Structure 1
Amino acid sequence: MSDKQSDKDEKTGLSRRGFLGASALTSAAVAASGLVGGVMTRDSWAAAAKEAQQKIHVAPGELDEYYGFWSGGHQGEVRVLGIPSMRELMRIPVFNVDSATGWGLTNESRHILGDSAKFLNGDCHHPHISMTDGKYDGKYLFINDKANSRVARIRLDIMKCDKITTIPNVQAIHGLRLQKVPYTKYVFCNAEFIIPHPNDGKVFDLEDENSFTLYNAVDAETMEVAFQVIVDGNLDNTDMDYTGRFTAATCYNSEKAFDLGGMMRNERDWVVVFDIPAVEKEIKAGRFITLGDSKVPVVDGRKKDGKDSVVTRYIPVPKNPHGLNTSTDGKYFIANGKLSPTCTMIDIDLLPDLFAGKLKDPRDVVVGEPELGLGPLHTTFDGRGNAYTTLFIDSQVVKWNMEEARRAYKGEKVNYIKQKLDVHYQPGHLHASLCETSEADGKWLVALSKFSKDRFLPTGPLHPENDQLIDISGDVMKLVHDGPTFAEPHDCIMARRDQIKTRKIWDRNDPFFAPTVAMAKKDGIKLEEDNKVIRDGNKVRVYMTSMAPAYGLTEFKVKQGNEVTVVITNMDQIEDVSHGFVMVNHGVSMEISPNQTSSITFIADKPGLHWYYCSWFCHALHMEMVGRMMVEPA
């Protein structure tokens, strides 16, 4: 950074950030928004914010316009917020253990977690909602677990996870996006880290030809891995076009290095583009391999002897790119530079010619490379031709016009940057309302800032992060809300409230608890009627109903060392009358909502009297909703 950039400019008296903000605004925005000399005054900022804040007030009895789904970061969960109020409505446990609902403890949740139930951690990054014809259909939300290489599916009618898949042959599932048209057939996800194959400790050289990572496609309905593609370099973020043919992913480690210096060695890395129908054709023709114990078809998408694979193309872009976003109009893949101050605009309409060999240079599909600022990470869109990019180092969101950036790339003198807005601090992802669909409405933008520093009451060395709500409905972005968040909400997504249809009570035929229903049927139990104890050797199954304010069984007897399974069916039909079950001093806790069946298994290892109680306040006599387990000595 030069001396002129680092401190206040001697001629203008503006800081570098102030200068950039001033020069980035159009004359129309200046005239419309109370700017003096191209810079918003303190009074004009305050007035703009006050006007915008009136839009975010959701009065008692009113509902938010949008559902927001936030990744819970290292907590391993998904959080549900109302937009624009930014009120947290619910937390959906996915890769974590949650004692309130019993997720990770109940038999139903452990059945969904499968073998990965042994992991008590998760690292959620990218939530995305299933689509039909380029619009959210409200059926599913998908989320990745970078920590343990998993992908999960959440049913949005009950807002609970119903499937979790561990991706074979890879480590660290990071970028995740969905097929947009004609419907979400595939969930595409990047495995970030390069590993040897087989990874048996005999080879540790990442530059070996058998060291690589894979691009993965998961069937959205079955949640089975449909196929994998071997790539050169590593993979970071991904997105798909609006035709259903092309996906693209960024690579920041084309060097296949394991150290920081090595990963920054090349001046350019690349975006790898995948031709999905071509991959399917290769598999149908039997031109694939399998790896290790997995039966998933694997297609080789690497360059060999300088020749392209039929399923991929590698487009050089400035070094260490990060985010990869498809513009709402379907025209561009936009790769965000990270270590370059630029974004790279790839014209999707030119990709068929690139795959057909009609273009001599892969860079021929690049039609814009706007210089935006320091540390561009992710880009979102308002549906009006404008893009919004986070600048991590500058702690700003920059608004820029895509077509003007394309004209500037051709040499035309045009100011494509419309505004730079300070956010606090170091923003990563950002998301505009409906921006991943053809219905992008350009109303709200959320900037997810990694640092909060001085924005909130101090909380010791570990600070909350800061989600900021920005009004983008006019010519000028207006910051209207700060919200502290814990353990890195990495990304978020917004859908209109009419696009999400939730159940008020459970359907008794719901597949969520089907395994428990099958067990009861085998025991000859009618879950809606029976309150019985079934003894099967050392295993005891306790079936009971619940209806506020009482359990169907207020006591049962077992022997020390018995494996006890408690199955409870909530017979309340009234919305919001949930019950809980906690066995004191046994690590046992679960939720049973109206019409739901839940079960949990534990060892009765302590002789004596042990109380159980309802943990969800359900009735004026809630405290009296108790029972006791009597454990006889072995």
Structure 2
Amino acid sequence: MSEQHDPQGHGETPAGSSAAHGLTRRGFLGAAAAVGAAGATGVAGALLTAQSRPAGAATAAEDPSLKAHVAPGELDEYYGFWSGGHSGEVRVLGIPSMRELMRIPVFNTCSATGWGLTNESKHVLGDGARFHNGDAHHPHVSMTDGRYDGKYLFINDKANTRVARIRLDIFKCDRITSIPNVSAIHGLRLQKVPHTKYVFANAEMPIPQPNDGRDLDNAQNYWTMFNAIDAESMEVAWQVIVDGNLDNTDADYTGRYAASTCYNSERGVHLGDMMRNERDWVVVYNIPAIEAAIQAGKATTIGDSKVPVLDGRKAANLGITVYIPVPKNPHGLNTSPDGRYFIANGKLSPTVSIIDIGKLDDLFAGKIEPRKAIAAEVELGLGPLHTTFDGRGNAYTTLFLDSQVCKWNIADAIRAYNGEKVDYIRQKLDVSYQPGHNHASLTESREADGKWLAVLCKFSKDRFLNTGPLKPENDQLIDISGEEMKLVHDGPTFAEPHDCIMVRRDQLRPVDVWKRDDPFFAITRERAKKDGITLETDNKVIRDGRQVRVYMTSAAPTYGIQEFTVKQGDEVTVTITNLDTVSDLTHGFCVVNHGVSMEIGPQQTASISFVADKPGVHWYYCNWFCHAMHMEMVGRMLVEKA
């Protein structure tokens, strides 16, 4: 019988069956998500209503929280990627259920997966493996032609000035880059078209250049930079020196421009010094002009770094940057999905500034003054921080001091700014409490669909059970599919997720089983090759002086080597290849009293090194449940006295 692949990856189904024609529940819902049709959600909701809603129960129209309900066994429509804040990780949520699906360790150490402990993860961490903290802020998914392509997710580490890349086929970080010449990477966004060639990253804190002990007390010689990282090689492609402290950034839909909010035009180093000026600015970068200037030899280098550095300060006048004055200590910078506007949020002013991207060519050509690129500046409320969009011409801005989200219409705001008597504010909704970032479904792409809005609140106070002095933060989900915003979910979360992004589930293609030639464990494969080991079949112990390399396979519920002997003080490297091919059949390896723990997914090879410093019998066991005889999946490391 011929077979047809299930698009949701749940196995093969006979072509002649009703399942092959997409009539299974999961297959039907997957197809609905792929086309992104609003009606598909309605049909799925009707099915759910017919199957499970008791007579007399509230409808979604009567109780908006029902729209966020995803029944047991059903799948969410979106993946949500949440930054883990100062935990250093990325969290994966299902939207609209807000169920946490996975945590992806990036800048942190993870006992469950062995991230930061295994040799493969230490290779990714590189020199940054010496850091035991991270501050993950802005997760963003790679794009092709302004649409999410599901290939990579990028995120920054403000604490240690790094940018990381996560492969979305395996949900693992595969590259981390330390950014030279700068301090504290904050805002991060991606080039949208024709594809994500560059990852744009703002360094926030000015430092002396080079930062080698000179000019310690002379803030007038402190500078920071806008950075472009090649998305494929993860090498820093170029840097641009700017005036002031860079904050958030975004790119346009032509591939030509990126822009950053910039505060501290005063160039102060203390709080009061950074708030005197009524206007700071948005810095706009001309990407083709930057590339041309580098080709023309106008770049220099700083210190030991080989990265090309261009002078984009106002006084340099190289034609690669322009500075647009905006009020006051601006924070968020967001591009409307129609590609027409950059929106800069004032933070210490109740206003947002709407920058007309269509006027930037004239601005760089010197035909207009910088303020002529402002299409409107409109008042929304106290503490505007970040703006997101629904794809229907409306914007949604968090008001930190007012603890509200303001829904407003961009076209009406421009009309009002030009003197017409029109109310551009559509609604204000109370949120709890002090919202920072917000993010609507698909909003950073051309496909913004205006269904869901996530609001990341900095405080929860009385929203959840008391957890002592340290309270959780509160992520709230809002239905924005209709004319009115409706709060449907509160979600407690730890360690201040800073930002998030939502992509449709059909835009990702995660694998169930590792490919044996995956580059993620290439370094381990090369080491095995030098030792004459075939990872898929060999179970051997190789002794090289005080270096002991143990190669074993695993297949539920047993390890290929169930005991091995070393001497006290030996450095032991254990490499395990999981021979199981069943989806979700992950093994673990944990050595008691040695701080050794790692996961080995189906068909994965993983390795970990440690010192056997205590003589005696030391058991190792599988710490990821794998089989009815899981408890018996053990072995012994016998350590002889030195």
Asked if Structure 1 and Structure 2 have the same fold, meaning a TM-score greater than 0.5 normalized by the shorter chain, the answer is yes
Q: Does 1:228 align with 2:239?
A: yes
Contact 1:196 1:205 (8 Å CA) reproduced? no
Counterpart selection for 1:574 from 578, 582, 601: 582
Q: How does 1:74-85 map to 2 (within 5 A)?
A: 74-85=86-97
Is the partner of 1:249 in helix, strand or coil? strand
Instruction: Give, in angstroms, the shift of residue 201 of structure 1.
Output: 1.9
Instruction: Quote the residue 2:426 is aligned against.
Output: 418
The CA RMSD over aligned residues, in Å, is 1.0
Contact 1:49 1:479 (8 Å CA) reproduced? no
Contact 2:60 2:67 (8 Å CA) reproduced? no
Instruction: Quote the residue 1:386 is aligned against.
Output: 394
Instruction: Write the distance in 2 (CA, Å) between the matches of 1:499 and 1:206.
Output: 49
Instruction: Quote the residue 2:29 is aligned against.
Output: none
Report the residue type matching 1:233 in the other structure: G
Instruction: Give, in angstroms, the shift of residue 199 of structure 1.
Output: 1.5
Counterpart selection for 2:552 from 526, 544, 549: 544
Instruction: Write the distance in 2 (CA, Å) between the matches of 1:366 and 1:503.
Output: 46
Instruction: Write the distance in 1 (CA, Å) between the matches of 2:504 and 2:487.
Output: 21
Instruction: Quote the residue 1:158 is aligned against.
Output: 170
Q: Does 1:631 align with 2:630?
A: no
Instruction: Quote the residue 1:181 is aligned against.
Output: 193
Instruction: Write the distance in 2 (CA, Å) between the matches of 1:60 and 1:519.
Output: 45
Gaps of 5+ in 1: 1-45
Instruction: Quote the residue 2:333 is aligned against.
Output: 324
Instruction: Quote the residue 1:31 is aligned against.
Output: none
Is the partner of 1:569 in helix, strand or coil? strand
Q: How does 1:196-207 map to 2 (within 5 A)?
A: 196-207=208-219
Counterpart selection for 1:107 from 99, 105, 119: 119
Instruction: Quote the residue 1:267 is aligned against.
Output: 278
Encode CA deviations 1:245-282: one digit per residue, 9 max, x unaligned: 01000111111111000000111100000001000000
Instruction: Quote the residue 1:8 is aligned against.
Output: none
Counterpart selection for 1:347 from 356, 368, 377: 356
Counterpart selection for 1:294 from 305, 308, 318: 305
Aligned residue pairs total: 585
Instruction: Give, in angstroms, the shift of residue 535 of structure 1.
Output: 0.6
Contact 1:328 1:436 (8 Å CA) reproduced? yes
Counterpart selection for 2:345 from 323, 336, 340: 336
- Shift in CA distance, 373/47, structure 1 to aligned 2, threshold 3 Å: farther
Encode CA deviations 1:4-28: one digit per residue, 9 max, x unaligned: xxxxxxxxxxxxxxxxxxxxxxxxx
Instruction: Write the distance in 1 (CA, Å) between the matches of 2:257 and 2:462.
Output: 43
Instruction: Write the distance in 1 (CA, Å) between the matches of 2:293 and 2:426.
Output: 45
Instruction: Write the distance in 1 (CA, Å) between the matches of 2:219 and 2:374.
Output: 29
Percent sequence identity is 75
Instruction: Give, in angstroms, the shift of residue 49 of structure 1.
Output: 7.7
Contact 2:134 2:160 (8 Å CA) reproduced? yes
Instruction: Quote the residue 1:564 is aligned against.
Output: 572
Q: Does 1:279 align with 2:298?
A: no
Contact 1:542 1:565 (8 Å CA) reproduced? yes
Report the residue type matching 1:348 in the other structure: I
Contact 1:136 1:499 (8 Å CA) reproduced? yes
Bigger Cα displacement from structure 2, 443-452 vs 192-201: 192-201
Contact 1:276 1:311 (8 Å CA) reproduced? yes
Counterpart selection for 1:127 from 116, 125, 139: 139
Instruction: Write the distance in 2 (CA, Å) between the matches of 1:183 and 1:51.
Output: 41
Encode CA deviations 1:262-304: one digit per residue, 9 max, x unaligned: 0001111000000010000000111110011000000000122
Instruction: Quote the residue 2:225 is aligned against.
Output: 214
Instruction: Write the distance in 2 (CA, Å) between the matches of 1:166 and 1:443.
Output: 37
Q: Does 1:434 align with 2:445?
A: no
Is the partner of 2:468 in helix, strand or coil? coil
Counterpart selection for 2:484 from 476, 489, 509: 476
Instruction: Give, in angstroms, the shift of residue 308 of structure 1.
Output: 3.1
Encode CA deviations 1:17-72: one digit per residue, 9 max, x unaligned: xxxxxxxxxxxxxxxxxxxxxxxxxxxxx998853222111112210000000000
Instruction: Write the distance in 2 (CA, Å) between the matches of 1:544 and 1:62.
Output: 38
Is the partner of 1:525 in helix, strand or coil? coil
Instruction: Quote the residue 2:42 is aligned against.
Output: none
Instruction: Give, in angstroms, the shift of residue 309 of structure 1.
Output: 3.0
Instruction: Write the distance in 2 (CA, Å) between the matches of 1:268 and 1:49.
Output: 45
Instruction: Quote the residue 2:152 is aligned against.
Output: 140
Instruction: Write the distance in 1 (CA, Å) between the matches of 2:583 and 2:131.
Output: 33
Report the residue type matching 2:203 in the other structure: A
Q: How does 1:45-124 map to 2 (within 5 A)?
A: 50-124=62-136
Instruction: Give, in angstroms, the shift of residue 234 of structure 1.
Output: 1.2
Instruction: Quote the residue 2:409 is aligned against.
Output: 401
Q: TM-score, normalised by structure 1?
A: 0.91
Instruction: Quote the residue 1:373 is aligned against.
Output: 381
Report the residue type matching 1:466 in the other structure: N
Instruction: Quote the residue 2:44 is aligned against.
Output: none
Instruction: Give, in angstroms, the shift of residue 455 of structure 1.
Output: 0.2
Q: TM-score, normalised by structure 2?
A: 0.90
